């Protein structure tokens, strides 16, 4: 299951909002005007919502999409077929949820107006990822971590340098859990350890399907 369909859009954003050599890292006037226009009369500050609220709302949106997936959509690898929208519509919708969350993370970080705010937004999403992990929403956890690991965000060295040691340690622990090493062995082991505890698993690239209990 390809979960990175938004990569080209992310790259385009990075071109317009790449990290500047100066400490301000400000967006261009043109980009700033476009951002204001996109929100029309409504101004939304991503930092005004707590990580707990973000994690909870993301999970509430993910759950019905996940529950709608039928076993045959996965066993037939229907999402990889030409007729995926008819053979695996719910799996495709679940993939779309992943892309939306991952792109949202990248977009909000790159649209920050200053280096300081950008670091605060980055820290906010690390805390959100931690809350998603605590809620066992591994699908959204992977989406947020993937956004933070993407090239446009990873290369913001001055932004990462402003993170607290606690945030850096938290992110390193989350990266360890969702590592691709040995076909995501740590993530699969974690799901198996949950036993009957509810969770929303990560189903990307034909992973862990055998670990999912369909109810």
- Split at pLDDT 50, 70, 90, the class of 38 is low
Q: How far apart are CA 40 and CA 180, in angstroms?
A: 40
Q: What is the mean pLDDT of residues 6-23?
A: 45
For residue 70, the model assigns a pLDDT of 86
- Name the least confident of 22-26, 124-128, 141-145, 159-163: 22-26
For residue 69, the model assigns a pLDDT of 87
For residue 41, the model assigns a pLDDT of 44
Q: What is the mean pLDDT of residues 150-168?
A: 97
pTM above 0.85? no
For residue 23, the model assigns a pLDDT of 41
- Split at pLDDT 50, 70, 90, the class of 2 is very low
Query: How far from the centroid of its chain's Cα atoms is residue 148's Cα?
Result: 7
Q: Is 78 a residue whose pLDDT tops 90?
A: no
Asked whether the beta carbons of 76 and 51 are under 8 A apart, the reply is no
- Split at pLDDT 50, 70, 90, the class of 184 is confident
For residue 33, the model assigns a pLDDT of 55
For residue 51, the model assigns a pLDDT of 97
- Split at pLDDT 50, 70, 90, the class of 129 is very high
Q: How far apart are CA 179 and CA 156, in angstroms?
A: 21
Asked whether the beta carbons of 135 and 59 are under 8 A apart, the reply is yes
Handedness of CA 109, 152, 123, 205 (dihedral sign): positive
Backbone dihedral angles phi then psi of residue 160, each to the nearest 5 degrees: -60, -35
Alpha carbon separation from 121 to 33, 115, 128, 172 (Å, rounded): 20, 10, 10, 17
Q: Is 14 a residue whose pLDDT tops 60?
A: no
Q: How far apart are CA 128 and CA 125, in angstroms?
A: 5
């Amino acid at each position: 299951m390809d979960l990175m369909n938004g990569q080209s859009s992310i790259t385009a954003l990075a071109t317009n909002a790449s990290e500047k050599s100066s400490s301000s890292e400000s967006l261009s006037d043109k980009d700033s005007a476009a951002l204001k226009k996109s929100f029309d009369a409504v101004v939304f500050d991503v930092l005004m919502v707590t990580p707990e609220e973000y994690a909870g709302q993301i999970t509430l949106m993910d759950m019905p999409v996940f529950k709608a997936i039928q076993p045959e959509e996965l066993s037939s690898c229907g999402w990889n077929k030409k007729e995926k929208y008819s053979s695996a519509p719910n799996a495709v919708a679940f993939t779309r949820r992943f892309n939306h969350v991952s792109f949202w993370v990248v977009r909000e970080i790159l649209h920050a107006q200053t280096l300081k705010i950008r670091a605060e937004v980055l820290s906010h999403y690390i805390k959100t990822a931690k809350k998603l992990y605590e809620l066992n929403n591994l699908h959204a956890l992977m989406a947020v971590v993937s956004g933070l690991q993407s090239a446009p965000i990873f290369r913001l060295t001055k932004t990462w340098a402003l993170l607290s040691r606690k945030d850096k340690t938290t992110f390193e622990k989350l990266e360890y859990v969702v590592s691709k090493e040995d076909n995501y062995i740590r993530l699969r082991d974690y799901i198996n350890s949950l036993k009957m505890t509810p969770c929303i698993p990560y189903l990307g690239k034909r992973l862990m399907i055998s670990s999912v209990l369909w109810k």
